[in-house]
Structure 1
């Protein structure tokens, strides 16, 4: 590594003045730093926009359901899951919301079994998700 004294420049010298001249030194700005800062700010702004304007599934209520003959979890999910939701995700929620049922343990659903079906809506973050009845 060459020191500043060997190459004829003093530390902080921008190279646009001669020794002995009383000239204000003007250095070229580093655009790489400016571009990096703008890029980081842009990425942070995109993440914040995504977070605040994305929608989340919210269970609004439960509906009692008696399993019919030849019903499967897939059939029930097709009938009651929101269009935006993957049926596998609805089945997982259905299993979690019915812990006393055999389906929570991975068993097949039985005819005549009583389930509480979660009714799910997609809402934007920041909306009122739950409000106490007056």
Structure 2
């Protein structure tokens, strides 16, 4: 049972790491695409800043979950870990998996919006409000 817990922990760390790497790659791509636009048209470049911040926060949170998953995996490898502590560590691993599978992938939609440079926030005439 201990060995299975360690294997599950390792699999979780690998999965969360891979998902985070993809998120970081997308974040870098979006950032590099948007930075030159700030000098040309600051208003247009920052029109979707909230979406960028959501994406950045999502990727950052995944990094924090990876750190917790690494600590939980180490906890489960430690001989003599109390059952309650092992349960807590399993919970951290489950939460990290959840975030990597359910929350982190939302960055893909955010990246798409940002890379398409949709202009709805700026193109709506004030008379339409």
TM range (shorter): under 0.3
More strand by share: 1
Q: TM-score, normalised by structure 2?
A: 0.26
Rg (Cα) greater in structure? 1
